[in-house]
Amino acid sequence: MSPKPRRLTPFLALALAAGLLAAGCGPSKSNPASPSPPPTSGSAVVYSALGASDAAGVGSSAPCMPFSDCPNGMGYVPRIVRDLQANGSTVQLQNLGIPAAVLSQRIQSIGEQYGRTIPANFIEQELPFVLRNATLVTVFAGANDVNTIGAAVAAGAGGSDPNAYIDEQIRAFGNDYRVLLDGIRARAPSARIVVANLPNMGTMPYASGYSASRRRLLQKASVGITTQVINPLASRGIAVVDLMCDSRYVTKSYLSSDGFHPNDTGYARLAADFLEAIRSSNAAAPPSSCPQMTAVK
């Protein structure tokens, strides 16, 4: 049976329409170019940012509306723009971050099955609006997916073998992530792509009230997505920003009061780490292991 058409809130429908107008509907380049080199002082940067509430700066002192330039925002996307501009670049931004978005319709359907409100997914509501002439694309995906998987397991998904269920979800996430990256390459063949992996979400303050078994499952999902799906991209010419092995990303002083979203300090750190990867012609691959990956015993 085909899935039911998804209803968008009036606000999200207007935002998506605005994104479509800004992105344009023309054909993609027939002769794909090699990815753009790191931006240099005075260069022109065309930037599409894919994300969820993180790209919108939720948790900061100045969050942004979806599909808005938000030049004074305190999330990592407007901070990246301001830093590039301060270095002499001109920047055209398309911020596609939609709060609560997950990677695909597949995980969106799982969330809805278990009572979670998920308004959008990256593949259907963000990917189609990536600017065709983008020279830079950033992607931060997976945190809402991990929480959705954790909620599904807590509600009985996976039955007596939740570990096998999570392994299945990690593999499916990998397939969906490839669809996303292939779609970005098809729309913007010249774009330099920089992605972030996940922190160990089982160690984040928001999960401190969960049972140890649920925190271990969150750890398994976030570590699995990081090590099996995202980190291997470093060997294929995609820069990976490492959040997993940097304990600051799970530290209260870097997070807002909800214990999940970064605060201004956290977003400043995230922007700096993205910028380091954006500007590097040979970004270092993330560590294959670190104590943070097994912190929940």
Q: Could you list the pLDDT tens digit for every one of the 297 residues in the chain?
A: 333 334 444 445 444 444 444 444 433 333 334 567 788 888 999 999 999 999 999 999 999 998 888 999 999 999 999 999 999 999 999 999 999 999 999 999 999 999 999 999 999 999 999 999 999 999 999 999 999 999 999 999 999 999 999 999 999 999 999 999 999 999 999 999 999 999 999 999 999 999 999 999 999 999 999 999 999 999 998 999 999 999 999 999 999 999 999 999 999 999 999 999 999 988 889 999 999 999 999
CA dist 166 and 168 (Å) reads 5
pTM as predicted: 0.89
The full DSSP string for 160-227 is T-HHHHHHHHHHHHHHHHHHHHHHHHHH-TTPEEEEE----GGGSGGGTTS-HHHHHHHHHHHHHIII
Which token pair is 213?
């078994």
Q: For the chain, percent helix, then strand, then coil, each to nearest 5?
A: 45, 10, 40
The token pair that represents 33 in the structure block: 């170019």
- Dump the DSSP string for 131-162: -TT-SEEEEE--HHHHHHHHHHHHTTTTTT-H
Residues 6+ apart with CB under 8 A from 295: 200, 202, 203, 219
User: Residue with structure tokens 């099955």?
Assistant: 113
49: three-class secondary structure by DSSP: strand
Q: Find where tokens 């723009």 sit.
A: 81
Query: What is the number of alpha carbons within 13 Å of residue 286 lying toward its C-beta?
Result: 31
Ordered by where they begin, the domains of the chain are 33-290 (3.40.50.1110)
Write down the H helix ranges in 5-131: 10-23, 53-56, 76-86, 105-113, 122-125
**Positive or negative: CA dihedral 244, 142, 167, 226:** negative
